[in-house]
Amino acid sequence: MLLAGGQGSRLGVLTSDVAKPAVSFGGKYRIIDFPLSNCINSGIDTVGVLTQYQPLVLNSHIGIGIPWDLDRNSGGVTILPPYERSDNSEWYTGTANAIYQNLKYMESYEPDYVLILSGDHIYKMDYEAMLDFHKLNGADVTIAAIPVPMEEASRFGIVVTDDKRRITEFEEKPAKPSSNLASMGIYIFSWEVLKDALIALKNQSNCDFGKHIIPYCFDKKKNLYAYEFNDYWKDVGTLGSYWEANMELIDLIPEFNLYEEFWKIYTKQATIEPQYISGSAYVEKAIISAGAEIYGTVKNCVIGAGVVIGEGTEVHDSIIMAGTKIGEHCYIEKAIIAEDCVLGDNITMGAGEEAPSELNESVYSFGLVTVGAKSVIPSGVTIGKNTAIKGETSEDEYPDGKLPAGGFIVKGGDEK
């Protein structure tokens, strides 16, 4: 059961039209490709994807699951949105509440075990090895956990185990953590235990795995084990960590390697044609996806499919997502530009000093320029750091042709 309904509000304008799991990553992928590919690579061929926030892109991306070989005669991928019932219709109010509302879906497959995943992380993991661990220990619940630096441990749900990895304590975001093993939000439940807990807590408001289900199982003296995972696992919850995780892919030998034959990551690929690097282009330290046409200079960038970068334009340390067209003689530094944007000519982006964001200081920092999907930016404007742009903007919205550092132009509504 893959939880994919979250907004991921700390990604700012990147998630104004799409759920966080549908945000592009690494040029050609979307975040949800990682858990979905992990599923099929681990031999899990029945996957329910729970959607709620802005599901359009997610739905069309997943379709009937062809890219992940999840188009099956039995099982396969099923999209599970909230639905109306004769009594008490409600949205998914929490992670466990969402799973509870789909008890019938799970029951129809008569499972022995249920794996709960979230669509928020970049990692490669063999869930089958985790299940073997679960069976070997005769566990009721197994929680995947990763060691984190002690000083960050208070941001996570922390598990404390004995030497056999049996969980002896569970602390949700503790002020003084007693271990550094953080829950990754990946759980394996033996079916009867999960069903019992979900039904027992069905009236719990905002019922959540970390806050309610796990403590409930713990109190009922169930066998809880921690499965330690010691590989690459990246939360891309903030613009800063999202930008960093993308930039790590262009290292000479990236820590997270997409070029291995083993454990491939699958995605829906609409663009298959080659990329063209013109005679006037210069590309160094970058990954570039299919169908891109580069006429300018690209350094330290992640470039999505079908992107066009005009002649004389320089792009540094940026993420440009699929379908975006950038005009000529622009200078772009440390920007995240989402899908299908159109940028004019002679635009300067990410120049000058930093200033705190006037829109939301905790979201738009890290010195980044963030541009939402399908935005239009007119020629000749200068855009400072920690800025946000979303929607079709025109010259008169940039006084003196400028959007100063920390500024924003975010257009909402259904029209644009």
Contact in structure between 326 and 344 (CB atoms under 8 Å): no
Between residues 100 and 256, which has the closer beta carbon with respect to other proteins? Answer: 256
**Does 60 sit near other proteins (CB under 8 A)?**
no
- Using CB under 8 A, which residues numbered 164 to 193 contact other proteins? none
67 binds other proteins (CB under 8 A): yes
Q: Which stretch binds other proteins (CB under 8 A): 98-106, 288-296, 325-333, 358-366?
A: 288-296
Measured torsion, CA atoms of residues 133, 135, 139, 143, in degrees rounded to the nearest 10: 40
Q: Which two tokens stand for residue 153?
A: 């441990």
Out of 148, 167, 217, 287, name the contact with other proteins by CB under 8 A. 287
Tell me which residues in 17-46 interact with other proteins (CB under 8 A).
26-28
290 near other proteins (CB under 8 A): yes
Q: What is the C-alpha separation between 324 and 292, in angstroms, rounded?
A: 10
d(CA 196, CA 209): 13
Q: How many residues does the chain have?
A: 416
State the burial class of residue 86 (Cβ atoms within 10 Å of its Cβ: 0-12, 13-18, 19+).
exposed
Q: What is the per-residue binding string for other proteins in 234-253, x denoting contact by CB under 8 A?
A: ----------------x-x-
- The tokens describing 334, both together, are 């440390």
Site string for other proteins, 265-284 (x = CB under 8 A): xxx-x--xxxxxxxx-xxxx
Contact flag: residue 73 with other proteins (CB under 8 A): no
Residue 109 as a binder of other proteins (CB under 8 A): the answer is: no
- Nearest partner of 301 among 279, 269, 324, judged by Cα: 324
Binding to other proteins by residue 376, rule CB under 8 A? Answer: no
**Smallest distance from other proteins to CB 292, Å:** 9
CB 332, min distance to other proteins, A: 17
Least separation in angstroms between residue 287's CB and other proteins is 4
- Would you call 224 helix, strand, or coil by DSSP? strand
**CA–CA separation, 110 and 377 (whole Å):** 53
Q: Does 288 bind other proteins (CB under 8 A)?
A: yes
Reading the block at residue 199, the tokens are: 């039904």
Instruction: Please name which of 92, 96, 62 lies closest in space to residue 78, comparing C-alpha atoms.
Output: 62
Site string for other proteins, 291-320 (x = CB under 8 A): x----------xx-----------------
Residue type, 92: Y
Catalog residues that contact other proteins under the rule CB under 8 A.
26-28, 66-67, 250, 252, 258-259, 264-267, 269, 272-279, 281-291, 302-303
